[in-house]
Amino acid sequence: MRERITRRIARELEDGDVVNLGIGMPTMVADFIPDDIRVIFQSENGFVGMGPRPPKGEEDPDLVNAGSEPVTIKTGGAFFDSTTSFAIIRGGHLDATVLGALQVDEQGNLANWKIPGKLVPGMGGAMDLTVGARQVIVATSHTTKKDQPKILPECTLPLTAKGEVDLIVTELAVFRVTGQGLLLEEIAEDTTVKEVREKTAAGFSIAPELTTFA
Amino acid sequence: MVKIVDKEQIKQLFAEGQRLMIGGFIECGAPHRLIDLLLESGVGNLTLIGNDTGFDDQKSGQLVVEKRLSRVIVSHIGTNKETGRQMNRGDLEVELIPQGTLVEQIRAGGAGLGGVLTPTGIGTPVAEESRTIEVDGREYLLAKPLRADLALVKAWKADRDGNLLFRYAARNFNPVMAMAGDKVVVEAEEIVPAGEIDPNQVMTPGIFVDYILQNGGEGASV
């Protein structure tokens, strides 16, 4: 499921894009970038040009991503402090960010930092990323582990961002957030619009040219 | 003037109830030897300003595990389960701030600014804690400056004048905190002779630095 979602999101990225991938599933997007384009990955702990995990034994504790996983830096990359990192993020220098979600809704609101009374990890850089990146892509399972919808008419959890989400990609569907609500643009090849309806609490319209993804 | 000092002199800088900035990003670039000395000094009731509260099984996280903190001002606590437990019990006050706002508050504190205006957090619970100010038709939240009694900074190389280099992603909050502490204490992986760091390459000018822990915390090495 995670592979299908991140493989599909990788197709949204273009040659020359500067992109920040959130921790967890979004980091897998980097594995599916075609060889013939160059996407520059930014890591909010302070560098651009992030490369894949190094071979075993070559990990460096000073070279990790924002999720503390060992990574590498590519030729042409650069390190900087957190003020520069967030100038990049907030200042309109990021073409896209890919983030996970607890809930996302038809107005493009996102909740992913707090379940009051239960889980309070904090927002980290997510609020800055959603405000600053030109395109905000949400990578999420279509429903929760208990089969509850995550795509809602209105988020009930505390918001990370108001009206900033542009695209929602799940294992079943690709929704674009428009001024008129959600537009179903693609469905997975092994599902139906009916199944998507059943598992989506939010209302949505269907693109005239609905396509499928693998 | 920068003073190169030993472990005991560092410990004397710590006091009950202090407000501390500690560099690092989930342990990467955190001043682990200074944190050890802070733990050894036995002081508590501290306020921590930092990106996060580390891992509960690693060094920075021990400040929480050993209950030395009464308040934290951070962007993320998810990697240290003990922080959440103490918060839920009411033993630890946790103020969560978006990371980009937090670092600008620290910068404002060090740069003599009255605060910064950020669009981050508009329409979220963060906005309920802040004043909203409209500039040219766009709404921003006022983020006030943050300073600390002490800033604990981890560098890669320091010279005897306090000029600092940082390595890879271990830079993160360190240079900005080096401007925002009333006293700035540095732990360096290596202390090099004056002149060895090219002035063109200096990342933090030595004038911000007050104390450097001796190499390895043991005897003079410069």
pTM of the model as a whole: 0.96
Q: What distance in Å separates the CA atoms of residue B52 and residue A169, rounded to the nearest whole number?
A: 29
Dihedral of alpha carbons B89, A144, A97, A43, sign: positive
Task: Judge contact between B120 and B142, C-beta under 8 A.
Answer: no
Give me the pLDDT at residue B218, please. Answer: 47
Distance CA B157, CA B155 (A): 6
Q: Tell me: pLDDT of A70 over 60.
A: yes
Among B55, B75, B172, select the one facing A46 at the smallest CB separation.
B172
How big is the A-B interface in CB pairs under 8 Å? 135
With beta carbons less than 8 A apart as the criterion, state whether B153 and B177 touch.
Answer: yes
As a whole-number percent, the residues of chain A with pLDDT over 90 amount to: 98
Nearest to A124 among B28, B75, B121 (CB): B75
Interface of A with B in 74-93 (CB under 8 A): 79-83, 85-86, 89-90
Query: Nearest Cβ partner of B120 from A60, A61, A128?
Result: A128
In sequence order, the 6+-apart residues with CB closer than 8 A to the CB of A148 are: none
For residue B43, give every residue at least 6 positions away whose Cβ sits within 8 Å of its Cβ, in sequence order, or none. Answer: B14, B15, B16, B18, B68
Q: Select from B188, B201, B28, B172 the least CA-distant residue to A47.
A: B172
Helices (H), A61-156: 82-90, 126-132
The predicted pLDDT at position B166 comes to: 98
Over its length of 222 residues, how does chain B's per-residue pLDDT go in tens digits? 899 999 999 999 999 999 999 999 999 999 999 999 999 999 999 999 999 999 999 999 999 999 999 999 999 999 999 999 999 999 999 999 999 999 999 999 999 999 999 999 999 999 998 999 999 999 999 999 999 999 999 999 999 999 999 999 999 999 999 999 999 999 999 999 999 999 999 999 999 999 999 875 444 444
Residue tagged 């903190």 (tokens): B69
Residues of chain B positioned with their CB less than 8 A from the CB of A136: none
Task: Look at domain B3-114+146-215 and name its CATH class.
Answer: alpha beta
- Domain extents in chain B: 3-114+146-215
Mapping DSSP to helix (H, G, I), strand (E, B) and coil, where does residue A131 land?
helix
Residue A17 φ then ψ, to 5°: -65, 145
* Amino acid (one-letter) located at B53: T
Contact at CB, B99 and A44, closer than 8 angstroms: yes
Pairing of strands B19-22, B148-159: parallel
Residue position matching structure tokens 């071979």: A55
Instruction: Determine contact: A51 vs chain B, CB below 8 A.
Output: no
Specify whether A44 is catalytic: yes
- What distance lies between CA A184 and its chain's CA centroid? 18
Question: Which domains, from first to last, does chain A contain?
Answer: 2-213 (3.40.1080.10)
| Coarse DSSP helix, strand, coil percentages of chain A, rounded to the nearest 5 percent | 20, 35, 50
Active-site residue, selected from the candidate residues A12, A44, A171, A185: A44
- Residues B164-218: tens digit of each pLDDT: 999 999 999 999 999 999 999 999 999 999 999 999 999 999 999 999 998 754 4
Q: Compute the mean pLDDT over every residue in chain B, rounded to the nearest whole number.
A: 95
Say whether A82 sits in a helix, a strand or coil: helix
